[in-house]
Amino acid sequence: MLVNKRLEIGLRLLLDLAKNPDQLQRARDLAQKEGLPETSARPILLALSRAGFLSSTLGRQGGYKLAKPPEKIRLAEVLRVLGGDGLELALFGRGRQKPIPLERSSPTFPFFASLERKFWEELKDRTLADLL
């Protein structure tokens, strides 16, 4: 399965924060737990904070924590924030073959469009708590 790297990192950071929801955690520590450079984690944490999923406190004792309970953080919203407007469901992109845009005129378009709608419908009811 192929997953957008920014999305994968963001979900992992959110899960780390959800395990200790009341504790402030520094970007450096979160990145280190995930085996990432801080420079990779910081912009994602900032995006999650701007979107209202995280609250942050500046300073030496500062850090990030969830702004709301995991049950209130909808995964569809997280995907849209981290994936941007161009986030699309990609099927079977393994190896050298990369997923290609499917033309509306294709006879298979209705089938794959239906799958994508069902994916997003299912996802809108899922929360961060479902991943814990």
Summarised one tens digit per residue, pLDDT across range 24-80 is 999 999 999 999 999 999 999 999 999 999 999 888 878 999 999 999 999 989 988
| Overall number of domains in the chain | 1
Calpha distance 23→84 (Å, rounded): 28
Nearest to 81 by CA among 119, 42, 49: 49
At 67, which amino acid appears? Answer: A
Contact 69, 42 (CB under 8 A): no
Summarised one tens digit per residue, pLDDT across range 98-126 is 667 788 899 998 998 898 888 888 888 89
pTM of the model: 0.82
Average pLDDT of 2-14?
A: 86
Residue 73 lies in domain = 5-131
Q: Helices 75-83 and 5-19: crossing angle, nearest 10°?
A: 140
For residue 130, the 8-state DSSP code is: G
Select, from the ranges 3-7, 94-98, 125-129, the one with the highest average predicted confidence (pLDDT).
125-129
Calpha distance 1→52 (Å, rounded): 29
List of E strands, the chain: 54-57, 63-66
What's the CATH number where 35 sits? 1.10.10.10
Residue 1 has pLDDT above 60, yes or no: no
